Structure 1
Amino acid sequence: MKKVRITVMRKACYEDLMAKYENPMEDACAMEEGQVFIANGWQRPKGLCESAWETMSPFVMGFAHGAEDFYEGWMKNPRSAMLSCNDGFRPVSFLLEALDEEAEK
């Protein structure tokens, strides 16, 4: 199994939707643009949002086992994927990249 780099690329915030529909939340998202996590094979990296992990984990699993080219030509680099978490108020975009480095056992 291989390691997978996960980079926080962008955070959006839809304050109009939050004001209309969301109950106030303290510290709803701790992700910061530029933050990098390394998934050791199938293991969720410490500090990575659990909700975001639920969205990206099938892709991480695929990359960790050598999968490439999700959706046939979607990404310029076939060993990468751009995904967002499932928070409709403050979605975070993550770049996943398969690494050649072996996961630690």
Structure 2
Amino acid sequence: MKHKVKVTVLDKKLYPELQQKYCADPNSGVCPCYNVGDEFVFYRDGDRDDFWHLGLNTLVKTNGNADTVAGGPKLPFCSEAWDAISRYIYTGLQGGSVMAGWMKDENVMITCCSDGTRPVIFKIERIDYE
């Protein structure tokens, strides 16, 4: 059995009151790295190891410009996002349970990056295949 991991951007939030109060650029807006609906697929077999390349070129679907999406052909994942989701991706690629006992499906996790003024919400799914 082989395992791949699909990551989907479910939502992007914005807290302008926090940006106004705390950010150097009080009008920095929503995260520019991802679009709602972006999908990424990670593999780790044979010559392909997307995990150790920080998700570079894992983008399979976007409604934006692929060259400007983190995880597209030119940019690895954003460091804040990668820090938050990489443990679930690695677990899934190894065939482990992503979040048993917390989510309805132990192979799915909903999480977000740690940018407190403009977090991105991700769905992470382990997919088993032959």
Between the aligned partners of 2:32 and 2:7, the Cα distance in structure 1 is: 16
Counterpart of 1:2 in structure 2 is 3
RMSD: 2.1
The answer for unaligned runs of 5 or more in structure 1 is none
Look up the equivalent residue of 2:39 and give its one-letter code. V
Q: Choose between structure 1 and 2 for higher RCO, CA contacts under 8 A separated by at least 6 residues.
A: 1
Aligned residues: 101
The TM-score, its normalising length taken from structure 2, stands at 0.69
The answer for unaligned runs of 5 or more in structure 2 is 45-50, 57-70, 72-76
Quick one: percent identity of the two aligned structures?
Answer: 31
Whether 2:40 is the aligned partner of 1:37: answer yes
Which deviates more, 4-13 or 60-69? Answer: 60-69
Tell me if the contact between 1:8 and 1:92 (Cα under 8 Å) persists in the aligned partners: yes
Deviation of 1:45 (Å): 2.0
Counterpart of 1:19 in structure 2 is 20
The TM-score, its normalising length taken from structure 1, stands at 0.83
Match of 1:57 among 78, 81, 86: 86
Between the aligned partners of 1:13 and 1:97, the Cα distance in structure 2 is: 25
Between the aligned partners of 1:13 and 1:90, the Cα distance in structure 2 is: 4
Which deviates more, 54-63 or 44-53? Answer: 44-53
Deviation of 1:26 (Å): 8.2
Counterpart of 2:62 in structure 1 is none
Match of 2:117 among 77, 89, 92: 89
Tell me if the contact between 1:31 and 1:49 (Cα under 8 Å) persists in the aligned partners: no
